[in-house]
Copies of this chain bind each other. A is one copy, B any other.
Amino acid sequence: MPDDPLKSWRDGPTKSAIRNFVFRVTSEETPDFVPPTERIATFDNDGTLWPEQPTCVQFLFTLDRVKALAATHPEWRTTQPFQAVLEGKVTSLAALGEKDLRKIIAATHSGMTTDQFNAIVADWLATTTDERFMRRYTELVYRPMRELLDYLRANGFKPFIVSGGGQDFIRVFADKTYCVPPEQVVGSTTATEFQLRNSSPVLVKMPKLESIEDGPGKPVAIDRFIGRRPIFAFGNSDGDKEMFEWTAAGVGLCFVGIVHHTDATREWAYDRESEVGRLDKVLDQAKTKDWIVVDMKNDWTVIFPPAMPSRRN
């Protein structure tokens, strides 16, 4: 099929399930037809649209920010959890408790305007490469999921990202990388404050986490930001459980998709025991429901887009 919009998806039950769902909700003659305005799709980000191993990208950004800011914070050399980060002892989220994580996020994601923060993130993404794949993170977006986003848009869906990660961090690259505009990116937020600086209004990021949109926080955030229930949801971990349940409880046909990381050669293999992106309860739930589990190794013919050396520098 030369014009296959899902050409990185191997023909089989998973691909058929996606196509069948889209066909049914977009065909006016079927009882499952859904008007375009109601075609809300929600996607988790880490582990669903791009890798999250060995730890999630924004966490690496956060560690780098601690190192970058250490010169102006000499006290961090003897204050935890900053000391441990500076000594290279923190390499995973699990090594920090939530309280320490909040401290580090508050310290590194505040004290600048929103514009300044966006520039810092953009610069970091442009200059940092993944240790294993030796490519920028924005080049490591799963090709099949990028095709799926395009395919849904071409069929009148409005895709949103609903992530436990930082909303403003994701917004910096989502438009260019996923064609998802900022107003369709929902995630965890820190407080901002309106201030006048030299008579010019700015929004200043404050050292206060407002909300962490993971687990039950996902349907709460979907309701707050979108105000309607998705008919299509894609995720990859138990952090997406409640988003899946909320989507599946709607009236009419719905689609729940789960990226199962089964490909240690081309990407990573992990599920029930993983510290990052644990997929355990949801894997059990999928068996008793019509939830579609994507076997990354067998369902995806390619994972990452081909490297384009001319775009690397």
Contacts and interface: CB of A to CB of B under 8 A. Distances in A.
Interface of A: 37, 40, 114, 158, 167-168, 171, 175, 181-183, 185, 189, 192-194, 196, 200-201, 203, 216-217, 219-220, 223-228, 242, 245-246, 249
Q: How many copies does the complex hold?
A: 2
A219 B246 contact: no
Contacts of A226: 182-183
Contacts of A192: 220, 223-224
Given A185-B227, A220-B192, A201 B37 contact: no
B182 A194 contact: no
B183 A225 contact: yes
A223 B226 CA distance: 15
Contacts of A193: 216, 220
Nearest to A217: B194
Interface centre among A181, A189, A227, by most B CB within 10 Å?
A227
B194 A228 contact: no
Contacts of A171: 227
Contacts of A242: 194, 201
